[in-house]
A and B are shown apart, each in its own frame.
Chain A
Amino acid sequence: MDALRTVFQGLIDLGAPVFLAVILTLIGITFRMKITRAISAGLTLGVALAGISLVVDFMLNNVGTASQAFVENTGVSLSALDMGWPPALGLAWGWQFAFLMFPIQIVVNLVMLAMRWTTCLNVDMWNVGNKVLTAFLVTYVSDLVWLGFAVATLQAVAELKNADVTRYRLQKLTGIPGVSMPHPMFLTGIWLYPFVKIMDRVLPSTWNIDAQKLREKIGVFGENHVMGFLIGCAIGALGGYDFSATLTLGIQAAAALTLFPLVAKLFTTALTPVSEAATNFTKKRFADREFTIGLDWPVMAGRSEHWLLMIMTIPVLLLYALILPGNIVLPFGGLMNICLVVPLFFFTMGNFVKMAIGTIIGIPMQLYVATYFAPYFTSLASSSGGVETPEGQQLAWFGMDISELRYIATEAVQGSVVGIILALVTIALAVYYFRGIKRDDLAIKAELEGQHAAPRS
C-alpha cells in the first residue's frame, strides 16, 4: 500500500500534464485499447492541459493587464477575469484526483441501469469534467476528498434521473427519439421550475418572436473573434489605452477567445476513444435492454432562440457586472450565457420572452456565485495548469453550470446556516420539481404518441 502511495505521489509530483498523460494511457490499456493508441490519447490529454495553461496565461498577460488598468482608471473593482467554460473545465481535468470520476460515473450508470433506476446510458464523457469540478470545489472547502466525490456521485445520480424525466420534452424539442440529456445544467430546473410555472400562469404563451430572422442579422456577434475583439476594445478604451493599443488589445482578446476552443477540443480528442471503450463495455452488459442514449445539450443548439438571447443579453450582463455592489467578476470567456439560457429554453419550451425574463433575473445570482468561487478557480489554475495570476488579479468562471447548486453544496458542507437552510429548500424544491416535470413529461409523451397514432387511423 505504501509502495503504491509512493508511486502515485511520485506521478503527481511530475506535474499535472505528465500525470494525466500516464493515467489516461493506463486507463486506455485497461480498456484493451492498442498500446500505441492509448499512448497517443494520453499524450494528447497532456498536450491539451499544457495548451489550456498557455492560452489562459496569454489571456492574463493582455486582457488581464488591461483589466487592471481598467480598474485603476474607472475605480470599478473587477479584479477577477472570467475565463469561460472551456478553460475552466479543462483545468478541472488537471486536478490530481480527476480520473477517479471516470470509474465512478461508469459504475453509477451500470448500477442504476441494473437496478432499473434509469434507462439512460450516458455517453457524454466531456461532462465527466463537470463532476470532477464539483468534487474539486467540495474537496477544496472541506479538505475531504471522499466528501467531494460523494457530492459528485449525488450529482451523477441526479443527472441520470433528470435525463429520464425530461426525455419526451427533449424529443418534442428536437424530433429525435431515444435520446436524453444527463447534462448537469438541466438540474437548474430544480430552482427554475417554480418561476417557469408562475410565468406560464401570467404570460400568454403567444408572446414570442421570430428568433431565426433576428439571429441572421446579429449572429456575427456570437462568433468568438468578433465578440472578443469588441470586448477587448471596450476594456482597452475604458482602461485608458491609446487608439492603437486599444485595437491591439481587441485582436489579442479575439485571439484568446478563438484559441480556447481550438485547444479545448484536444480534451475531446483524447477522451473519445476511452469514452467509446467504456460505452461498449456497458452496452455489452445490457445487450437485451432498451436505452435512451444520454447526450450533451447541443442536440438542441439548432434553434436560434438560444443564440439570439445570449447575444442580446451580453450588454445586460456587462452592465450588471459594472453596477452590482460586491461583484468582482469581469465577464470575458463566458459572455455567452449557455448555462442559464439553455435550461430556460428547455423548461419554457423555447419561449423567447420567458427565457429573456428568466435570464435578466438570473444573471446577478450567477455573477455573485462567480465572485464567490473566484479564489477556487485561481487556485485550480495554479495547481493544475501552473498558471500564476499576478498579485491583485484572480480568475473566475461566469456562467458556471448549476451555479446555484454548487454554491449551496459548498456552503452546506462547511456547515454554514445559510448553506444548510438553502440545502433544505433545494431538497423540497427538488421533490416538487421531479414530481411536476415527470407529470409534464408524461403529458408530452401522450401528445407525441397522439401525433404518431393520428396518420394511421
Chain B
Amino acid sequence: MRRFGGSPARTISRAVTFLVLLLVTVVMLYPFWFMASSAFRSLQQYTLGLPGLSLASWRLLLQLLPIGQQVLNSSIVTFGSILLILILSAMGGYAFSKLSYRGSQLIFLAILASMMIPVQSMIIPEYTNLSYVGLINQYIGAILVYTALYTPFATFLMTMYFRGIPNDLIEAAVVDGLGYLRIFFRVMLPMAIPALATIVVLEFIQIWDDFLVGLLFLQGPDVRTITVGLATLNAARVLNVPVMMAGSLVSAIPAIIVYLLFQRYLIAGLTMGMGK
C-alpha cells in the first residue's frame, strides 16, 4: 500500500513516526514489565541483580496478606455495586427518556449535576452518617456508597441510549396492551444490552480499583478489599519490593483481563461521556 509507495521523504517521516511511537510504548509498558518481572524474583535476586526466577516472594505474600479473602471481598463489593447500579440506572434511564412527568427533567438535571461533586467534599458526613446507622465494616455500606457515586453517570448513559429507541415502538406496545412494566422488561432491556455491558465494564474497573471508599468503609481486616490490603503492605514499610510487586500484580490482573477483553466498551464509555 502507501507504505511502499510515496516519496522517500514520506517513507522516512513514517519511519521516524513509528520509532517515536515505539519509544512511547516502552515508556508506557516499562512499569508493567518491572512489576511482572520483579514479582517472580526472590529478594536476594532482586537486590543483588542476580539472574533467575523464584516463587519465594509469592510464598511470603501469602503469609503477609489473606489474598483469597481480600479478592473475595473485592468481588462481593464490586459485583454487588454493579448489580445495584444496573437496576437503578436502567429504571431511571427508562423513566427519564420515555415516561417523563412534571419535574422529571429537573430531577434528571440534578442527577447530572451530582457528577460534579468531588468525593472528598461529601465523604466526611457520608462516613459519620453510615457509622451512625452501623454500616461501617459491612459490605452493604460500601456497596451503597459506590452505587450513589457511580449511578449518576450510568443513568446518563442509559437515558441517552433509551432516547435513541423510537417512541413509536412504545406507543405500539401500549396499543398492543402491554403495560409499562412489561415494556421495560420485554422491549427496553433486551435492546439495552450494549449499554448495560458498557456500564458493567466501566464500573468493574472503577470499583475494583477504588481505594478511598474501601479504606474508610471497610476497615476491618476480615472485610478489607485487595486494593486496601495492598496499601497496608506499603504502609507497614515492608521493604521487600518483589513481594509488593507480586501483590500489585494480584490486584491489577483482574482489571487488566477485563481491559484486554472489553477495551472497546471502555473507549465507548469515554466517548459517550464526551459527546452530548
Please determine whether chains A and B interact with each other in the same assembly.
no
